[in-house]
Structures are given as structure tokens and as C-alpha cells.
Amino acid sequence: MKPCNQLRVLVTGATGGIGSALSHRLAQDGVLLLLHGRSEQKLRKLAQKLGAETVQADITTQQGREKVLAASKTFQVNTLINNAGINQFGQFVEADIEQIMAINVVATMKLVQAFLPFFEAQAWSTILNVGSTFGSIGFPGYVSYCASKHALKGFTEALRRELSMSSTSVLYVSPRATATAMNHERVDELNEKLSVTVDSPEAVAAQIVEVLYTDRPTSQLGWPEKLQVKLNAVFPTLVDKSIASQLATIKAYF
């Protein structure tokens, strides 16, 4: 169990639904926070509530990542939570592939790459990547998003094994559907139509914090999602058939 008073955490995408709830939860525990986002106004408002430091930057650019790293060194960050990301719902032929991969995958990988020399020079450090159930189960309407989260999951797993003899822990948390402003109203309607259980950002944040404190390498949140992920890995054709029975409904919300 990591002591809260020794954690100095950078949260990327801190002003989003999960990011904000996570920042509030960590602040309640007395964790020192450096909050990242792209909106200076939103960052300032959140930081004032939590007594946190901020760094405004676009981490899809090298200049933005360098700014975040410089602020993290000054703040003496020892924990990086990669929460920044975007979602896209709709038919694949209209997907903005470059945008979703740039934010969800490339920016995260390059930020971690920049942080590693800084982290490995410390007695201990932690990288926690926030993924998605769709990083383990491909789902219609989220083709590019699923691809980005599959990539993030694979990146985390490989990096954890590469750094297993180092002082840096690499963790992966996979939330299920979460009620955030990132979801289009069509997504909310579809989730209701399919009877999908949707977690609050606060519930997800509580589980992420538990994973962080206990250094749990990989965590899939929610039931029956835990079972569905295992079924998809072992019997993907069963999941194919289940999703096929819902496909007309899903496409109606494109």
C-alpha cells in the first residue's frame, strides 16, 4: 500500500469527467496534485477548489509534452496518471482516425517515453494508464476508439514487462461505460436501450485510486464486463453472435 503523503501525482485530462472526479478523490486523501488540461480557465477553477498546481498544454505536441515534463520535475512528480483521451461513436467510414490515435495512443506513449529517465532516477515511481472495456472487446460504432484502447492496453502490458526489474510500476485500469460529458446524447440513449450499466465518474475514480494505492497491475472494472472480457478472449465467436443480435439497434443510433 502506497502512503498518500508520499504521492505527488500528475493527472492528465484532469478537467474531464473521470479526471475531475479522480482529482477530487486524491485531494480528499491529501495527495499532492499537478493537474493537466488544455483549458486554462477550467484548470484554474478546479485547482482553486483542490489547492493543486496546474500545467496547461497540448500533449499531442512535443512542445506541450516538454512543458508538462518540466512542470512535473519542478513539482517532483512520482506518479503519472494518463487519463486524457477522447471518444468517437458512429460508423467507421466517418471516423477521425488520426485525431483519436494521436490523443489516445501517440500522446500517451510519447509522454511516458519522455518521463521514463526522470522516473527511473527516483527510488520508486508509478505510471497508471486509464483504458476501457473496449480495449479488450471490439464493439460496433467505436472502431477507432476500440483500436486506440487496444493499443493502450498492449503498450501498458509490454512496458510493464520491460520495466519489471526497475523501480517504476506500470498499471492499467479498464473502466466500463461511464457517465461523462464526453458521451453524445445518442450514446446515453443507446446505453439505456441496451440496458448497459453506466458508472458515475466518482465510482470509477474510487476504483482507480484503489488500484493506484495497491499497485494492482491490471484491473477490469464492473460485472458482467469482467466475464465478457474473459469470454471474448477465449470464445470470441460467442461475443460475435451476442453483438450481432444488437447490431440493428446500435446502427440506428449512428
Q: Write b or e for each residue in 225-253: b if 16 or more Cβ atoms lie within 10 A of its Cβ, otherwise e.
A: bbebbeebeeeeeebeeeeeeeeeebeeb
Residue 181 has pLDDT above 90, yes or no: no
The per-residue pLDDT for 123 is: 96
Cβ distance 13 to 35 under 8 Å? no
DSSP-based three-state secondary structure for 143: helix
245-253: average pLDDT: 96
The per-residue pLDDT for 180 is: 85
Mean pLDDT of the chain: 96
The per-residue pLDDT for 184 is: 77
Residue 105 has pLDDT above 90, yes or no: yes
Q: Which of 119-128, 182-191, 209-218 has the lowest mean pLDDT?
A: 182-191
Q: Round to whole Å and give the CA distance between 240 and 154.
A: 22
Residue 1 has pLDDT above 80, yes or no: no
Q: Which residue has the cell 512535443?
A: 62
The per-residue pLDDT for 205 is: 97
Residue 182 has pLDDT above 90, yes or no: no
Residue 244 has pLDDT above 80, yes or no: yes
3-state helix, strand, coil in the chain (%, to 5): 55, 15, 30
- CATH assignment of the domain containing 115: 3.40.50.720
C-alpha distances in angstroms, 150 versus 29, 133, 141, 182? Answer: 31, 9, 15, 19
Residue 3 has pLDDT above 90, yes or no: no
The per-residue pLDDT for 49 is: 96
Predicted confidence (pLDDT) per residue in 66-83, tens digit: 999 999 999 999 999 999
Phi, psi (degrees; rounded to nearest 5) at 253: -100, 5
- Domain hosting residue 26, numbered range: 4-252
Confidence of residue 238 (pLDDT cuts 50, 70, 90): very high
Q: Which of 26-40, 144-158, 185-199 has the lowest mean pLDDT?
A: 185-199
User: Strand runs (DSSP E) across the chain, as ranges?
Assistant: 8-11, 32-37, 53-56, 79-82, 125-130, 168-174, 218-220
Active site residues per annotation: 145
Predicted confidence (pLDDT) per residue in 20-54, tens digit: 999 999 999 999 999 999 999 999 999 999 999 99
Q: Round to whole Å and give the CA distance between 20 and 8.
A: 16
194-203: average pLDDT: 94
Cβ distance 228 to 250 under 8 Å? no
Residue 2 has pLDDT above 80, yes or no: no
The per-residue pLDDT for 82 is: 98
Residue 133 has pLDDT above 80, yes or no: yes
Q: Round to whole Å and give the CA distance between 115 and 111.
A: 6
Sheet bearing 53-56, strands edge to edge: 53-56, 32-37, 8-11, 79-82, 125-130, 168-174, 218-220
Start-to-end CA span in the chain (Å): 44
The per-residue pLDDT for 126 is: 98
The per-residue pLDDT for 46 is: 97
Q: Write b or e for each residue in 19-52: b if 16 or more Cβ atoms lie within 10 A of its Cβ, otherwise e.
A: bbbbbbbbbeeebbbbbbbeeeebbeebbeebeb
Total of domains in the chain: 1
